Amino acid sequence: YLVVCQSVEKFRPPDGLTFPLIIADPPWYISDPGHKRKREVRPKRPFTKDFGPWDTFKSERAYLIKCRQWLQSLYEVAAPDAWLFFWCSYRYISKILTEAQRAGWQDHTFYIWHKTNPLPMFGNNNFLQCIEMALVLTKGNPRFRFSKKGGQQPRNLFESPQVTGAERVKNHDGSAVNLAQKSLGLTGLWIRWASRPGDWVLDAFAGTGTATVAALQLGCHACAVEKDLSLTQQIQARLIRECQGAIRYG
């Protein structure tokens, strides 16, 4: 299913579905509308930390209230035993965990994506920003399906380049459709660990549909929820291009 919905809170699963695995990449509230610095890129554009209205909130409190609403809505559509991978900024991770627990979720661990080719920093007074973090939350008592290659326990760290090349979904002018696009390899690992073929995976805040693509490629069903109509059109094109499967629309 590819669902156009104005907000996750208003999402009602088709056919009364519940989801044993949910992957969510909501707004992070890290935009800085006043920040803009020129740099040389192709095509030439100013570097900015303003990601748009979708990542703008009146205050930190307003953002955390919204996070709790999202987490409550996701809890309601989760299966009795379910996993939730919830991407967020390191700035708010502990506060979002508190909101998740208030919504009924249980803390399991966190996961780090280490990007081996981070963007360069301007100036020389900070570290390169090379990681993204996700909370790993549970409802009920789900179990991972780890494959211990060589007897080694999987780690909560994934290393890969940031999304580039053919994997990056692009506009006609070559610019990235969604700067927050996640790694297909990482998302596929989560799906292999936390679901079985035939399970339903909810791709909340779908963006470019990475979790949906990974789920379908691994033999799962998927429901992508996105409010931006232009992004749902990009997801549709990507599914046809990468999954060669039928899509049902809601």
Residue 247 lies in a domain: no
Residue that wins the pLDDT comparison between 148 and 134 = 134
Mean pLDDT of 113-117: 95
Count of all residues that appear for the chain in the document: 250
Residue 166 lies in a domain: yes
Q: Quick check: 144 and 109 in contact, CB under 8 A?
A: no
Residue 177 lies in a domain: yes
Residue 248 lies in a domain: no
pLDDT tens track for 76-109: 999 999 999 999 999 999 999 999 999 999 999 9
Q: How many domains does the chain have?
A: 1
Buried-state track 186-206, b at ≥16 Cβ within 10 A, e below 16: bbbebbbbbbeeebbbbbbbb
The CATH number of residue 229's host domain is 3.40.50.150
Residue 249 lies in a domain: no
- Band of pLDDT at residue 38, cut at 50, 70 and 90: very low
Collapsing DSSP to helix, strand or coil, 60 comes out as: helix
Indicate the pairing of strand 78-88 with strand 131-139. antiparallel
pLDDT number for residue 40? 44
pLDDT number for residue 77? 98
Mean pLDDT of 172-195: 94
Residues 60 and 248: their CA atoms lie apart, in Å, by: 37
Query: Does residue 182 have a pLDDT over 70?
Result: yes
Residue that wins the pLDDT comparison between 80 and 129 = 80
